[in-house]
Amino acid sequence: MSALPAVTGHDEFDALVVRTDYHDDPAWQDVVAALVEPWGDNKQYEAHVHFINDPAWAGATVGEVLTAVSTDENLAVVFLADRTTMQSEHHALLAVTMLTREDCEDDEDYEQLTEFGREFRTTPAGVHDVYANLSIGNLGFEEYAAWAHDDPEGIYRSF
């Protein structure tokens, strides 16, 4: 795959959602509709999402996406709308941490923070919980990954 386009216009308060599957436009519209819904206990929070919807990203792997967005130092997590997202009824996106071994003090620290992996699935409603809490340091990626791990379908579902 050739180099992916630069991500521009991404505000640090917006969850970054990258579309990598372009086989089902109606499914994508459903994903977008779910992601722009107000969220929180009483739907009191406005959704802030930056969408990458450019066919140049079609088929991009997790590694390619991480490389393309790695220059954003404020980004803790990126969400991929991949084939699984489009084909599943719940449209669970792939949440991937930006954490690398170099970001940790040592191997033990990195292993603890990635005990349940560097990625997990989350419903569109969960995207906002994850992004907001990671942004303010209220919860860690590993906590969300553990909750997804404990779910029978391996999906983090919003509080």
Rounded to whole angstroms, the Cα distance separating 109 from 38 reads 35
Give the residue, 71 or 126, on which the prediction is more confident. 126
- Do 77 and 98 form a contact (C-beta atoms < 8 A)? yes
pTM beyond 0.85, yes or no: yes
Extract the tokens encoding 60. Answer: 């991009």
Average pLDDT over residues 72-80: 91
Q: Is the pLDDT of residue 1 over 70?
A: no
pLDDT tens digits, 2-55: 689 888 888 888 999 999 999 999 999 999 999 999 887 788 888 899 999 999
pLDDT tens digits, 92-131: 999 999 988 888 889 998 888 888 989 999 999 999 999 9
Beta strand ranges found along 12-73 (DSSP E): 15-19, 49-52
